[in-house]
Amino acid sequence: MTTLSPEQLQVRELAAQVAQREIAPHAAAWDREHHFPRELYTKLNEAGLMGLLVSERYGGSGAGYVAYALAIEEIARADAGTAVTLSVHSMICAAIERLGGEQQKKTWLPRLAAADAIAGFALTESDAGSDAASLRASAVREGDVYVLNGRKQWCSTGRFAAVVLAMFRTGGAGAKGISAFLIDPASAGVRVERVTEKLGIHSSDTCDLAFEDARIGPDALLGEEGEGFGTAMSALCGGRIGIAAQATGILAACLEASVKFASERYAFGKPIGAFEGVSFKIARMATDLEAARLLTRRAASLADAGEPFAMQASQAKLFASTAARTHAAEAVQIHGGYGYTTEFPVERYYRDAKITEIYEGTSEIQQLIIARSLLGRLE
Ligand SMILES: Cc1cc2nc3c(=O)[nH]c(=O)nc-3n(C[C@H](O)[C@H](O)[C@H](O)COP(=O)(O)OP(=O)(O)OC[C@H]3O[C@@H](n4cnc5c(N)ncnc54)[C@H](O)[C@@H]3O)c2cc1C
């Protein structure tokens, strides 16, 4: 594994600064009030974090996946909801850069890299989650427009996004009948149907989008007709590096809080960290944090080198999300009764950690991807 470059170290430093100054002091209130801090993304832009996966040609920094993972980890240490918004946004920037036509790139990338627009993602439907290839929302070509109908469930940033990467069925059954579109959710015929109430990541937005005879031009098609499933899967592959980094950031926050509490809280005349029952939890937490970081960085380094990284991204997400969920529970345990109250942040970490095992492919789906990479499709 290569050491970090001066540019990557600078991204990490800037992300840490903006996270500590602009996010950490507000994270508990945003969580409590379910507040999506739209204005924050301008500040993330000032720190150069909105265009990490956009090339300089289109207004980004082109800093790459290692820098992206470092930034997401720092942001997630302060607030996991903000981290997922930035992660999904960046994943869609990368998809547009990779697959978009020149006009689409010129239309969207400078705006996305400058936080003038935030990007959202819409693949899932009520009956198509892990089995995304069974999605039913349709895009029917009528003359020179596509007419969209159906409903997309749990779209991250749905209410605040200026563009959503959404998958619709343009052909027959299965993965080959799916196409990807770049859609402005404010278009006629698109409406927010339901805002999702969630266990955690309250500072992120999640909603359902309903499409009723929404008419969009063919310039909204990203890539070729029928290639949308591959577009979604390749976008998610990069996105998993972001979710692994988000889980790593939650884990880092759990460790920080646990070390502090275990040093300051006394029981039986000693700091509780003096008891092995507590200190060994912290030792495991710190070790898994390093492992999560290294796995995430390995996947990101491969992505930056242009090498295959799907299995490594799944391994990083699987490991980091399991570790985040496990150790967030331990962090609450170390805090005792205080851990269960909103007086300390670990109850928020505990709620936030769980989602990292579910979105952008559940842990079971990550294992499927890893196993298939090793064994092929045996069925
Ligand atoms: C807060 C939040 C934000 C989200 N953001 C987005 C977003 O921005 N865009 C988007 O498109 N989607 C989004 N999602 C959807 C998310 O990606 C899906 O929930 C996830 O992929 C799982 O799909 P599902 O919920 O339909 O579960 P299901 O697919 O119904 O799975 C249910 C259970 O069965 C297991 N399972 C399913 N198939 C298999 C299998 N073959 N082998 C073993 N186990 C299996 C799963 O692992 C899971 O444990 C979001 C969800 C949430 C909760």
Q: Whose CA is nearest to atom 29 of ligand 1?
A: 130
- Say yes or no: 106 and 127 in one domain: no
Residue 186: which pLDDT band, with cuts at 50, 70 and 90?
Answer: very high
Is residue 167 within 6 Å of ligand 1 at its C-beta?
A: no
The answer to whether residue 1 scores a pLDDT higher than 80 is no
- Report, as an integer, the average pLDDT of 262-283: 98
Q: Which position among 227, 347, 357, 360 bears the catalytic label?
A: 360
pLDDT value at 2 more than 70? no
Residues 235 and 335 occupy one common structural domain: yes
Q: Is the CB of 130 under 6 A from ligand 1?
A: yes
Task: Give catalytic status of residue 360 as yes or no.
Answer: yes
Residues 371 and 238 in one domain: yes
Q: What is the number of domains present in the chain?
A: 3
Question: Is residue 1 situated within a structural domain?
Answer: no
Ligand 1 pocket member 257 (CB < 6 A): no
Q: Ligand 1 centre and the CA of 360: distance in Å?
A: 7
Q: Residue 245: its pLDDT value, please?
A: 98
The answer to the question of residue 108 being in a domain is yes
Supply the CATH number for residue 260's domain.
1.20.140.10
Q: How many A from CA of 132 to the centre of ligand 1?
A: 9
Domain assignment of residue 140, yes or no: yes
For ligand 1, atom 41, which residue shows the shortest CA distance? 365
Q: Are both 25 and 95 inside the same structural domain?
A: yes
126 lines ligand 1 (CB under 6 A): no
Nearest CA to ligand 1 atom 45: 364
The residue contributing the CA closest to ligand 1 atom 12 is 124
Query: Domain for residue 297, yes or no?
Result: yes
Residue owning the nearest CA to atom 16 of ligand 1: 359
Does 152 have pLDDT greater than 90?
yes
Q: What is the CATH number of the domain that holds 107?
A: 1.10.540.10
Residue 157's pLDDT is 97
For ligand 1, whether the C-beta of 206 sits within 6 Å is yes
pLDDT band at residue 255 under the 50/70/90 scheme: very high
Q: Which range of residues forms the domain containing residue 98?
A: 6-118
CA of 359 to the centre of ligand 1 (A): 6
For atom 11 of ligand 1, which residue has the closest CA?
Answer: 123
Beta carbon of 154 within 6 Å of any ligand 1 atom: yes
Q: Are 97 and 127 part of one and the same domain? A: no
Report whether residue 121 contacts ligand 1, using a CB cutoff of 6 Å: yes
The reply to whether 312 and 200 lie within a common domain is: no
pLDDT digits (tens, 9 = 90+) for 50-60: 999 999 999 99
Task: Decide if pLDDT at 379 tops 80.
Answer: no
| pLDDT at site 91 | 98
> 80 CA distance to ligand 1 centroid (A)?
19
Domain check: are 215 and 238 in the same one? no
Q: Taking 80 as the threshold, does the pLDDT of residue 179 lie above it?
A: yes
Residue 234 placed within a domain: yes
Tell me which of 210, 226, 242 is where a domain ends. 226
How confident is the model at residue 377, as a pLDDT? 79
Q: Are residues 127 and 188 in the same domain?
A: yes
pLDDT tens readout for residues 200-250: 999 999 999 999 999 999 999 999 999 999 999 999 999 999 999 999 999
In a shared domain, residues 11 and 132: no
Give tens-digit pLDDT for 115-128: 999 999 999 999 99
User: Among the atoms of ligand 1, which is closest to the Cα of residue 368?
Assistant: 42
> Do 255 and 296 share a domain, yes or no?
yes
The reply to whether 66 and 185 lie within a common domain is no
Task: Give the domain-ending residue among 96, 118, 140.
Answer: 118
Q: What is the pLDDT of residues 27-63, one digit of tens each?
A: 999 999 999 999 999 999 999 999 999 999 999 999 9
CATH, residue 147: 2.40.110.10
Does residue 72 sit in the same domain as residue 99? yes
Give the 3-state secondary structure of the chain. Answer: CCCCCHHHHHHHHHHHHHHHHHHCCCHHHHHHHCCCCCCHHHHHHHCCCCCCCCCHHHCCCCCCHHHHHHHHHHHHHHCHHHHHHHHHHHHHHHHHHHHCCHHHHHHHHHHHHCCCCCEEEECCECCECCCHHHCCCEEEEECCEEEEEEEEEEEECCCCCCEEEEEEECCCCCHHHEEEEEECCCCCCEEEEEECCCCCCCCCCEEEEEEEEEEECHHHEECCCCCHHHHHHHHHHHHHHHHHHHHHHHHHHHHHHHHHHHHHCEECCEEHHHCHHHHHHHHHHHHHHHHHHHHHHHHHHHHHCCCCCHHHHHHHHHHHHHHHHHHHHHHHHHCHHHHCCCCCCHHHHHHHHHHCCCCCCCHHHHHHHHHHHHHCCCC
Asked whether residue 11 is domain-assigned, the answer is yes
Domain boundary among 226, 249, 266: 226
* Interval between CA 262 and ligand 1 midpoint (Å): 36
